[in-house]
Amino acid sequence: MSRPVDLGFGISLIDLYDLQTAQRTGAYVFHEEEVTIIETSASPSIPHLLKGLEELSIDLKDVKNIIVTHIHLDHAGGAGVLLKHCPNARVFVHPKGMRHLADPSRLIEGAKAVYGEKFDALFDPIVPIPEDRLVIKEDGETLQIGEDRTLTFLHTPGHANHHFSIYDEKSNGIFTGDTAGVFYPQLLSYDVELYLPSTSPNQFDPEAMRASIERFMTLRPERIYFGHFGMSTHTQVVWDQLHYWLPLFVQIGHEVVNEQMNQSFTEKTEAVSNRLFDHIQTFLRKQQVPDDADVYKILQLDLQVCAMGLVDYMEKQKR
């Protein structure tokens, strides 16, 4: 298991081994007067988070703020379990997400629909959070966590309606959750960067995602901290790739849904996933990434979920 990584500016990254996979989902820790954590991943990741905090010599009583960018279980599913270990902490969430952390029954139902029999191993248990330990943050509101450090919350829909991102002026960085897509650091060993949009169901909205990305760009950040996974300082590469891949993802979803109108949702999803995979594999082959590279395991899962969101979005447009 990897040790926490010092990212500079008083921020550490803990690998949460989400899906029992390295470099999948990370928690960011601010070493400030009020120790602050962004993202928890799902409950099976909490032992990794606790171990990382121990290695950083952080007393759990000093953890004051737990921030989840949105309430999807791979970002917030473990918040209730973590809170039991952090007696002085509160959980900060988008206004549209608060009730689902207090009563996660619909979150559980939705995840079971996507992950089926794998649900328990990936996400169980999901612990409700008492409402008096939940705090909502409206667009533009701030949170002071240190004498010279204030975080600003930005509502950034596109991946989900209940999504906010966090701007940190001290590092000139944005914690983008899933709105700015997924970074695959496994490819850095091939000197390749890949940033793909995350179009998972069931609130994917390409226009809202584009608008949120434009909002990120206007801030001119020097660093992007991804939920999946890690930090990038190559911000222009991120924007360029998102502007390339997002329209292509939408185009492929549109083509498949129109071509296969009489096929089932599952069949359409498989077709979209396969076409996306072919495009990305071609992109990686051109950069000499071998077909047996480890990144393909997680890419296939990601593209299956992205395909579900694309088909779901396209079918909603037809209603």
Residue 73 confidence (pLDDT): 94
| CATH number, domain containing residue 91 | 3.60.15.10
Per-residue pLDDT tens digits for 266-280: 999 999 999 999 999
| Average pLDDT of the residues in 3-9 | 98
Considering its fold, how many domains does the chain have in total?
Answer: 2
In a domain, 214, yes or no: no
Residue 113 confidence (pLDDT): 80
Residue 114 confidence (pLDDT): 74
- Domain that includes residue 164, residue range: 5-170
- Residue 1 token pair: 């298991």
Confidence of residue 107 (pLDDT cuts 50, 70, 90): confident
Per-residue pLDDT tens digits for 242-251: 999 999 999 9
pLDDT at 169 exceeding the cut of 80: yes
Contact 231, 173 (CB under 8 A): yes
In a domain, 75, yes or no: yes
In a domain, 99, yes or no: yes
Token pair 């996660």 is at which residue? 104
Residues 15 and 153 in one domain: yes
In a domain, 61, yes or no: yes
In a domain, 72, yes or no: yes
Residue 2 confidence (pLDDT): 87
Per-residue exposure over 263-299, b if at least 16 CB sit within 10 Å of its own CB, e if not: eeeeebbbbbbebbbeebeebbeeeebeeebebbebb
Confidence of residue 303 (pLDDT cuts 50, 70, 90): very high
d(CA 165, CA 173) in angstroms, rounded, equals: 10
In a domain, 78, yes or no: yes
Residues 80 and 163 in one domain: yes
pLDDT at 41 exceeding the cut of 90: yes
Residues 43 and 153 in one domain: yes
Residues 159 and 291 in one domain: no
Residue 112 confidence (pLDDT): 86
| Average pLDDT of the residues in 71-81 | 96
Confidence of residue 12 (pLDDT cuts 50, 70, 90): very high
Which of 139, 170, 201 marks a domain boundary? 170
Residue 274 confidence (pLDDT): 98
Residue 118 backbone phi and psi in degrees, to 5:
-80, -5
In a domain, 203, yes or no: no
With 0-12 / 13-18 / 19 or more C-beta atoms within 10 angstroms meaning exposed / middle / buried, residue 116 is exposed
In a domain, 28, yes or no: yes
Which of 145, 170, 195 marks a domain boundary? 170
Residues 149 and 298 in one domain: no
Residues 133 and 257 in one domain: no
Residue 185 confidence (pLDDT): 98
**Cis peptide preceding 202, ω within 30 of 0:** yes
Contact 55, 29 (CB under 8 A): no
Residue 79 confidence (pLDDT): 98
Which of 170, 195, 210 marks a domain boundary? 170
